[in-house]
Structure 1
Amino acid sequence: MHMIANWQGSPNHPRFISTRWPWHDVRGLFSLRAGGVSEPPYETLNVGLHVGDRPHAVLQNRSRVAAWVGCGPETWVVPEQVHGNRVAVVDASFAGRGALAVETAVPDVDALVTAEPELPLAVFAADCVPMLFFDPVRRVVAAAHSGWKGTVGHIAREVLSCMREAFDCSPADVRVALGPSIRRCCYEVDESVATMVRAEFGARTMVSRFGRPGKFLLSLQACIRMDLIAGGVLPDHIEDTGACTSCQADLLFSHRAHRGRTGRQLGIVCLSGGDGVKGQELGRA
């Protein structure tokens, strides 16, 4: 597994972590919290419409991100994100679902898959793990939101299964990037969650919390990595930003660190069309 180190932007402009995938084939990135227009406690690049921020500010922020991706925010496709493991295949007819209003999001799913060029798939998170998928052989992309419930429900493998069934993708060809999310250093869970995690992934993904009986520190990323490899993804095809949302709450939104009142960053992926890259070159804006 590789760590993604290519952080882009400046304090006065939107900041991102881009994937290592060829930008002329696919645009994949994770937003940070700097460079937007939202006011506290959502400062500044909040892209979540469902957290209580002013919708106008959120849409401005989405437009700033869209300039990097090269597709206007009105074309994005967004899942409802219900902390489940369901996946939907989408095409051009879904363009704009969830992009400008929460109510129009693709219902009852936490992941989307498409082979449609210039159709951005976006997921939002503030501790949960945003995941981006790219098959360069079949030219298929996916985006998924994985909290502990989705992780225990094996949403990572559900995405791989959907890609295989819908587009004949081979998991060995698929590249996966894990975005900023809360990590084992900060993610405390109780015995009820730990029991479910042990049943699916064993005990190695957790450590007991010293001095806090019945409390554990959980690595969602380790669980997801195990799931991806079990599903056929090659270890060298898995990237991880390595960024903890709770540790780096000045750079990232964290639901736990900010006690539930905060914004959202996103993971977004878009296949490039045949007429070249429409987005801005990372690092040159």
Structure 2
Amino acid sequence: MLGNWIGGHDTPIWLEPSGWRAAGAHAAFSFRLGGVSQGPFASLNAGGHVGDDASAVTANRAKIAAHLSVPVHDIAMAEQVHGSRVALVGEDWLELAPQQRVPFAATDALVTHVRGIALGILTADCVPVLFFDPVQRVVAAAHSGWRGTVEGISSRVVKTMVEVYGCRAQNVRAVLGPAIRRCCYEVDESVAGAFIDRFGRAHATIRPGRPGKFLLDLPSCIRKDLLEAGVSPHHLQDTGVCTACRNDVLFSYRADGGRTGRQLAVVGLRAKRRGGDLSCDQFA
């Protein structure tokens, strides 16, 4: 079904959470098409730490920022250490010079209520989760790898939105972006055990013919974490796209053998409508 929405290989592809623009937030998940990077990073690589040419990464990030009508230097990034720390991005961040806006250290999730700041998360199999409360006008972005998922990074984001910004969990909207799915995410018994203990046996199944190996469903675990945090099931979206299955249009660390680029998931307040965007509903 995904292929129905792919143009030529030079055409940028985006996914947007349905209804968010109308409610006042801009948000999108980039794919790997439409950029200038070459080789294993072709073509819209947004990761500056993977060995790609720095000028190509800069050009690619500028393309993504332009799509959202956001200055590229106004996208706050996290260091992403596969943990569960949540950092607040305040107005003081905007006062820094662009060269001083380094990624938030030892952080995997960012939250802000400041207009003019966008939040960015890089992924190539881990789950990017974007959040938006249209009532209190708060947005957040989380990088949910397996460790962060076990540690409840998504529920920690919701708790931060509630405790710091006065949000109500039932008003928070969340969307899970393209990520590796149960069909392709093989883990060993120790990792599977951690998920079974935390979320239940249904989320990790034994892989036939592979002793000691399990297939793990990260998105379903994140969904359970969010529901337990009080998020309404009506406010949860999932793109449902597997990065490993569709590494022709998405970067996948596993499917690409470890040397590949990164998608960028971005969310911020103050949207500007542009034509030609895709909705997550089209992939439901």
**TM over 0.5, yes or no?**
yes
Q: Which amino acid counterpart does residue 68 of structure 1 have in structure 2?
A: H
Alignment size in residue pairs: 276
Of residues 59-68 and 16-25 in structure 1, the stretch that sits farther from structure 2 once superposed is 16-25
2:61 aligned with 1:62: yes
2:181 match: 183
Q: Which amino acid counterpart does residue 64 of structure 1 have in structure 2?
A: K
- What is the CA–CA distance in structure 2 between the aligned matches of 1:60 and 1:177, rounded to whole Å? 27
Contact 1:71–1:279 under 8 Å retained in 2 = no
CA deviation map 1:70-119 (0-9, x unaligned): 1111111001001000101112322498x879x92111110000001121
1:174 match: 172
Structure 2 gap ranges (5+)? 279-284
- Structure number with higher helix proportion: 2
- What is the CA–CA distance in structure 1 between the aligned matches of 2:78 and 2:95, rounded to whole Å? 11
Shift of residue 12, structure 1, vs aligned partner? 2.4
Within 5 Å, which residues of 2 pair with 1:12-91?
12-24=10-22, 25-91=24-90
Within 5 Å, which residues of 2 pair with 1:271-282?
271-272=269-270, 277-278=271-272, 280-282=274-276
Contact 1:75–1:96 under 8 Å retained in 2 = no
1:218 match: 216
Aligned partner (choices 121, 124, 128) of residue 123 of structure 1: 121
Q: Are residues 279 and 67 of structure 1, via their aligned partners in 2, closer, same or farther at CA, if it must alter by over 3 Å?
A: farther
1:235 match: 233
Secondary structure at the aligned position of 1:83 is classed as coil
Shift of residue 15, structure 1, vs aligned partner? 1.1
Contact 1:254–1:262 under 8 Å retained in 2 = yes
2:265 match: 267
- What is the CA–CA distance in structure 2 between the aligned matches of 1:48 and 1:130, rounded to whole Å? 14
2:93 match: 94
CA deviation map 1:5-40 (0-9, x unaligned): 996876423211111133140001100000000001
- What is the CA–CA distance in structure 2 between the aligned matches of 1:93 and 1:21, rounded to whole Å? 30
Q: Are residues 253 and 93 of structure 1, via their aligned partners in 2, closer, same or farther at CA, if it must alter by over 3 Å?
A: same
Shift of residue 198, structure 1, vs aligned partner? 1.1
Structure 1 gap ranges (5+)? none
Secondary structure at the aligned position of 2:211 is classed as coil
CA deviation map 1:208-235 (0-9, x unaligned): 1001111000000010000000000011
Q: Are residues 191 and 22 of structure 1, via their aligned partners in 2, closer, same or farther at CA, if it must alter by over 3 Å?
A: closer
Contact 2:16–2:277 under 8 Å retained in 1 = no
Q: Which amino acid counterpart does residue 48 of structure 2 have in structure 1?
A: L
Q: Are residues 198 and 36 of structure 1, via their aligned partners in 2, closer, same or farther at CA, if it must alter by over 3 Å?
A: same
1:283 match: 277
Q: Are residues 9 and 26 of structure 1, via their aligned partners in 2, closer, same or farther at CA, if it must alter by over 3 Å?
A: farther
Q: Are residues 93 and 9 of structure 1, via their aligned partners in 2, closer, same or farther at CA, if it must alter by over 3 Å?
A: farther
Contact 2:139–2:267 under 8 Å retained in 1 = yes
- What is the CA–CA distance in structure 2 between the aligned matches of 1:231 and 1:283, rounded to whole Å? 31
CA deviation map 1:122-181 (0-9, x unaligned): 000000000000001101000000000000010011000110111011110000010000
- What is the CA–CA distance in structure 1 between the aligned matches of 2:232 and 2:29, rounded to whole Å? 22
Q: Are residues 214 and 100 of structure 1, via their aligned partners in 2, closer, same or farther at CA, if it must alter by over 3 Å?
A: farther
Contact 2:85–2:108 under 8 Å retained in 1 = yes
Contact 1:27–1:269 under 8 Å retained in 2 = yes
- What is the CA–CA distance in structure 1 between the aligned matches of 2:32 and 2:151, rounded to whole Å? 29
- What is the CA–CA distance in structure 1 between the aligned matches of 2:76 and 2:43, rounded to whole Å? 23
Contact 1:191–1:215 under 8 Å retained in 2 = yes
- What is the CA–CA distance in structure 1 between the aligned matches of 2:64 and 2:146, rounded to whole Å? 27
2:154 aligned with 1:156: yes
Of residues 15-24 and 59-68 in structure 1, the stretch that sits farther from structure 2 once superposed is 15-24
Q: Which amino acid counterpart does residue 264 of structure 1 have in structure 2?
A: R
Of residues 15-24 and 214-223 in structure 1, the stretch that sits farther from structure 2 once superposed is 15-24
- What is the CA–CA distance in structure 2 between the aligned matches of 1:22 and 1:185, rounded to whole Å? 29
- What is the CA–CA distance in structure 1 between the aligned matches of 2:92 and 2:7, rounded to whole Å? 33
Contact 1:68–1:282 under 8 Å retained in 2 = no
- What is the CA–CA distance in structure 2 between the aligned matches of 1:76 and 1:234, rounded to whole Å? 28
